[in-house]
Amino acid sequence: MLKNRTRPLAVGLIAVLILSAVAVAQFSGGYGRGRGRGRSNWNREIRPEEEDRGGIPVWKNDDRFKEDVFYFVRIKYSSGGYGRGGRWDTDYPDSDFNFPYRLHELTALETDPYGKIVELTDDALFDYPWIYLIEPGRMYLEEAEVLALRKYLLNGGFMMVDDFWGEDEWQNFYDNIKQVFPDREPIELPLEHDIFHCVYDLKQKPQVPSIHAWWNTGGTSERWDSQTPHYKGIFDDKGRMMVIICHNTDIGDGWEREGLDNEYFKQFSEKWSYPLGINILMYAMTH
């Protein structure tokens, strides 16, 4: 069982889900928050509360619920491709500020405005029920990270994996997740699955491109072998989804780039990235 914040938060979210279904019936305006500033510098210590928010509002949560606040937790892994720091900080910090802001704006969920960055080997991992891991296409998990992630997920945690494209990156991620769960296979989620309908009713599995890929091609697939978006789940022995894998899509860029291009916001942020992100979170926290 996850400790500290996670258990009461998970229980309380059943009521939140009901409220959220009403609160998000219409996605409000608010265009222009966030500037799409790209990756941070790998060799500095990242403190979300000290980052330039680019005009994204800060809010204060009700003190009565200070133990039940949701934190957007980005996973910092130790390896991964471009530079010594890997790609774990792609879309940071704007995605990490915009998505919590939208949760605060559109749902009844008490949400921290800053979020957290946590390593898999940090004991603080077990304080949080929901984690976000990005760009695993070149990631390599060390043994200690593998063991910690397995323990976290089997003890009630949930992980969203996002933003990797094509068969080569899939194979790399698959090799790593099989180290975590050698006896479990990712299972393709049908469009009928509740995760696509629990708050927002999505009519298709969305493919969200990075804004630069969209600018360059006008399409949604970033590679020749990534035309079809895949959403796969990994489940525990009781059928609880522990991991959702968003492959051939970049949900986080829709969060990060919402203030950079109004048309991109309308086509991808508003229509797909925020609705699906909210669905994933609410499904994870109530199942």
Cα dihedral sign for 105, 109, 114, 116?
A: negative
What digits encode the pLDDT tens for the residues 133-159? Answer: 999 999 999 999 999 999 999 999 999
Structure tokens at 104: 């605060």
| Residue 13 confidence (pLDDT) | 46
Q: What is the DSSP letter of 124?
A: G
Q: Show the tokens assigned to 58.
A: 């800060």
- What's the whole-number mean pLDDT along residues 208-232? 97
The per-residue pLDDT for 34 is 59
Note the pLDDT of residue 63.
Answer: 86
Q: Would you say residue 42 has pLDDT above 70?
A: no
Strand partners, 137: none
| Mean local confidence (pLDDT), 102-127 | 95
Q: Output the pLDDT for position 25.
A: 42
What's the mean per-residue pLDDT of the chain? Answer: 87
- Give this prediction's pTM: 0.89
**193: number of Cβ within 10 Å:** 16
Q: Per the structure block, which two tokens stand in for 214?
A: 């969209």
Domains of the chain, first to last: 6-25+33-286 (3.40.50.12140)
**Cβ atoms of 247 and 229 closer than 8 Å:** yes
Structure-block tokens of residue 50: 């000290």
Alpha-carbon distance of 163 to 11, in angstroms, equals 30
For the cut 90, the answer to whether the pLDDT of residue 15 exceeds it is no
